[in-house]
Chain A
Amino acid sequence: MRHLLSIEDLDRDEIERILSAAAFFAEVADRPIKKVPSFRGRLVINLFYEASTRTRSSFELAAKRLSADVLNVVASGSSVEKGESLHDTVATLSAYGPDVIVIRSPHAGAPGLVAGWTHAAVVNAGDGKHQHPTQALLDVYVLRQRLGSLEGCDIWIVGDVLHSRVARSCVQAFIKMGAEVTVVGPPTLVPAELAALGCNVRHTLEHIGEADVVYALRLQQERMSEDFLPSLREYAANYQLDSRRLKARQLVMHPGPVNRGVEISGELIDSSQSLIIEQVRAGIVVRMAVLVEVLSGSRLRDPGGQRVAVSAEPQLA
């Protein structure tokens, strides 16, 4: 794999290969010294055009645990604020010879454009409301750790699906892994066209008891000003996930950051059926696996490259 731009580009074998590598790195993470030398001397640039805490920090940690040099570039305080175009910023950063550029952009398709402008491998860390493939991969990883397999698993994604790149990526990834996916929320935020993603579309939580896994999405405050919702209170009354609506056997996920008491109740977040902290933990090892995957892909297809090929299998020195 040369770049990771969208879950659409991956087949089930590729997903499983990445997750196997992640499982390997998870063992490393339990050791006193958590670093492997796979990326020694290599440069990973995190180019973030949107605010992010967990995605950026986990990409940074992932790169550091692979012994890479890491350069973080955020839009505020950079030449982006002076009006530099994405193309020119990428051309400038590419002059530093990065091996991987991790990009988050408010615009769908930006990572694909960047891939056309640089020799580096490109990893999409979220583009507009389009895709967030590493989030979906880490969610699949967590579910496989817990359930063994997603085959036949009934997964409900609840909330603002329309504006969610996490939902788009997760629907595709879960379906590829054999799960049955249902999206649910008010018709303003879960339009019928979303069935185009291959999932079921519902507008009430009436049958949520059927779900094995319930995945809550963050509700953005600005949806109120855009008239998608009359009020947070009404949304919470109809769609908030809490221990009254869910049974103890149902697993609960959330990509973070959570609005406690809006899309999900505080006690559910802190309950034993919540996988939210496991998701954060998985973020590092899955992103390590993704970095290794794209770098091996790029070297294997670059016969003129001076560097030694990095094996797709993670290696301990």
Chain B
Amino acid sequence: MSSLFAAPRPPAELLFREAHVLDPRNDLDEPRDVLVRNGVIAEIAAAGSLEASEGVEVIDGAGKHLFPAFVDPHVHLRSPGEEHKEDLDTGTRAAAAGGYCAIVAMPNTTPVIDHPMLLRGLIASAKEQAHVRVGFMAAISVALAGEQLTEMAQLRDAGALGFTDDGKPVSSAGLLRRALQYQQLCGGVIALHEEDATLSGAGVMHEGAVSAALGLAGIPAISESTMIARDGLIAGHEGGRVHFQHLSARGSVEALVQARARGARVSAEVSPHHLLLTEEAVRTLDTRFKMNPPLRGEDDRAALIAALRDGTIECVATDHAPHSRDEKTVPFEAAPMGTTGLETAFAALYTGLVLPGTLTLACLVERLTAGAALFELETPTVAVDSEANLCLVDLEASWRVGESGYESRSANCCFGGQELRSRTLLTLAGGQVCYRERSFALSAA
């Protein structure tokens, strides 16, 4: 049984002409014609060599890039319970607009996805509403209370991709150990939000010079790093499969390296905001810069970039966390944690890391798709006979984030107002067209 769900649509019939195809895993990095028939890549040929047959839309790809579409292992779709922030429709529209073909939704909804019946209901909704494919994580502990394991095997049977108490740490080492033992029975990645609550306290930003100057309670980097060290040891001891979410600090990268060196089966993700912003942004007290884990120091940011570049951290995850305007229009300390990210991830990282030469374009595309394999999903690929999971991107286009609104229901984007380079023009997910950029759709018509 597949663990990704979306609303059915007619399969795409498209010919991308002369698009620059970049798929690092297939050593593809040159202009090509790519023919999609019945939602499947039917032919990849020399640029300008393919003719469209009847019923096939021709997309002029000249000067544009065609990538395998992205996979985000960490988003919050807020459904059920907080549909005023986001829902399956708006959240997956945002994903499609960002070039994503698949996303993984966290279970910290209201109610928490901790029971098979709730998960079945959510999957049924996704089959009606989702524009890209969605995988659903279930909770590790009932109500995320950290006390009692959920019915993990039954949740897996109901379609859970894996387990996480994201938003909260699994504070009890004993409970995590039991979950990893149970994982042997039911499978599914266990993804961990790492934070020691006794170290985080009432913190609202990174503990450092900026928090000291502003008088804001700080969350020290060791709050995250010590838990990664602990859980790396537990994972290694049990032979379990653990994924560390949203790394934010140098010490966390070091703890990850140590765990892996001891043979633990651990992987990790990093978010665009931790790769591009630091605690300095919080000086404005703008609530869009309030997230958990918090934006940290420049040295942490440098360590995260280096780890992503060399593959220590395998993938990028947005931790897309929508909040309504009213909820974020309050003083910094009173605001909820989180930033949206699906619509800006590629453009922000392309602008901030690829254009200055910090990261190659191929590496970025690889890291934006690598989350799939970590969550036991098929990796999008530009290859004949593969299902079409593609995004067409204009690297030359520039746009101001938020200027023409968002596909997401929420506008709490930490890159809001920034001028970014590159724009997603068209996204295919599971062989179906799920997004067309407005002006591009008009010119193509």
- Report which A residues bind B (CB closer than 8 A): 85-87, 105-110, 112-113, 127-131, 162-165, 168, 191, 193-194, 196-197, 226
* Residues of A contacting B214 in the complex (Cβ-Cβ under 8 angstroms): 108, 130
Name the residue of chain A whose CB is nearest to the CB of B201. A226
Query: A108 touching B330 by the CB < 8 A rule?
Result: no
Query: B329 touching A196 by the CB < 8 A rule?
Result: no
In the bound assembly, the distance between CA atoms of A49 and B375 in angstroms comes to 48
Question: Which of B64-72, B204-212, B339-347, B435-443 interfaces with chain A?
Answer: B204-212
Query: A196 touching B215 by the CB < 8 A rule?
Result: no
Nearest Cβ distance between residue B400 and chain A, in whole angstroms?
21
Nearest Cβ distance between residue A155 and chain B, in whole angstroms?
18
- Write out, one digit per residue, whether chain B residues 387-431 have a CB within 8 A of any chain A CB (1) or not (0): 000000000000000000000000000000000000000000000
Name the residue of chain B whose CB is nearest to the CB of A226. B201
* Residues of B contacting A130 in the complex (Cβ-Cβ under 8 angstroms): 214-216
Query: B211 touching A193 by the CB < 8 A rule?
Result: yes
Nearest Cβ distance between residue A47 and chain B, in whole angstroms?
13
Query: B333 touching A85 by the CB < 8 A rule?
Result: no
* Residues of B contacting A106 in the complex (Cβ-Cβ under 8 angstroms): 333
* Residues of B contacting A87 in the complex (Cβ-Cβ under 8 angstroms): 329-330
Name the residue of chain B whose CB is nearest to the CB of A113. B331
Instruction: Please provide the chain B residues from 172 to 221 with a CB less than 8 Å away from any CB of chain A in the complex.
Output: 201, 207-216
14 sampled A-B residue pairs with Cβ under 8 A:
A85-B326, A107-B330, A108-B214, A109-B331, A112-B285, A128-B216, A129-B216, A130-B214, A193-B208, A193-B212, A196-B210, A196-B213, A197-B212, A226-B201
Contact of A107 among B201, B211, B326, B334 (CB under 8 A): B334
* Residues of B contacting A127 in the complex (Cβ-Cβ under 8 angstroms): 331
- Extra contacts, 7 of them, besides A113-B329, A130-B216 (Cβ < 8 A), are A107-B334, A108-B215, A128-B216, A129-B215, A168-B215, A193-B211, A196-B210
Query: B332 touching A109 by the CB < 8 A rule?
Result: yes
In the bound assembly, the distance between CA atoms of A269 and B120 in angstroms comes to 69
* Residues of A contacting B332 in the complex (Cβ-Cβ under 8 angstroms): 107-109
* Residues of B contacting A164 in the complex (Cβ-Cβ under 8 angstroms): 215
The interface size bin for chain B is 10 to 19
In the bound assembly, the distance between CA atoms of A85 and B209 in angstroms comes to 30
In the bound assembly, the distance between CA atoms of A308 and B214 in angstroms comes to 37
In the bound assembly, the distance between CA atoms of A113 and B332 in angstroms comes to 10
Contact of B285 among A108, A163, A193, A196 (CB under 8 A): A108
> Do A108 and B211 contact each other (CB < 8 Å), given the known contacts A86-B330, A113-B331?
no
Query: B216 touching A108 by the CB < 8 A rule?
Result: yes
Query: A128 touching B333 by the CB < 8 A rule?
Result: yes
Counting residue pairs across A and B whose Cβ atoms lie within 8 Å, the total is 60
> Do A108 and B329 contact each other (CB < 8 Å), given the known contacts A129-B216, A196-B213?
no
Query: A108 touching B212 by the CB < 8 A rule?
Result: no
Please give me the 8 A-B residue pairs with the lowest Cβ-Cβ distance, nearest first. A129-B215, A107-B331, A109-B285, A196-B209, A193-B212, A130-B215, A110-B331, A107-B333
In the bound assembly, the distance between CA atoms of A162 and B329 in angstroms comes to 26
Nearest Cβ distance between residue B354 and chain A, in whole angstroms?
33
Contact of A108 among B201, B208, B209, B333 (CB under 8 A): B333
Nearest Cβ distance between residue B272 and chain A, in whole angstroms?
25
Query: B331 touching A86 by the CB < 8 A rule?
Result: yes
Contact of B212 among A109, A113, A196 (CB under 8 A): A196
In the bound assembly, the distance between CA atoms of A10 and B209 in angstroms comes to 21
* Residues of B contacting A163 in the complex (Cβ-Cβ under 8 angstroms): 215
In the bound assembly, the distance between CA atoms of A316 and B333 in angstroms comes to 43
* Residues of A contacting B208 in the complex (Cβ-Cβ under 8 angstroms): 193
Instruction: Please provide the chain B residues from 317 to 338 with a CB less than 8 Å away from any CB of chain A in the complex.
Output: 326, 329-334
Name the residue of chain A whose CB is nearest to the CB of B217. A129
Query: A108 touching B213 by the CB < 8 A rule?
Result: no
Name the residue of chain B whose CB is nearest to the CB of A198. B213
> Do A197 and B213 contact each other (CB < 8 Å), given the known contacts A107-B331, A108-B333, A110-B331?
yes
Query: B216 touching A85 by the CB < 8 A rule?
Result: no
* Residues of B contacting A109 in the complex (Cβ-Cβ under 8 angstroms): 285, 331-332
Name the residue of chain A whose CB is nearest to the CB of B205. A108
> Do A193 and B333 contact each other (CB < 8 Å), given the known contacts A85-B326, A108-B214, A112-B285?
no
* Residues of A contacting B211 in the complex (Cβ-Cβ under 8 angstroms): 193
Name the residue of chain B whose CB is nearest to the CB of A88. B326
Query: A105 touching B331 by the CB < 8 A rule?
Result: yes
* Residues of B contacting A165 in the complex (Cβ-Cβ under 8 angstroms): 215
Name the residue of chain B whose CB is nearest to the CB of A194. B212
Nearest Cβ distance between residue B95 and chain A, in whole angstroms?
31
Nearest Cβ distance between residue B297 and chain A, in whole angstroms?
11
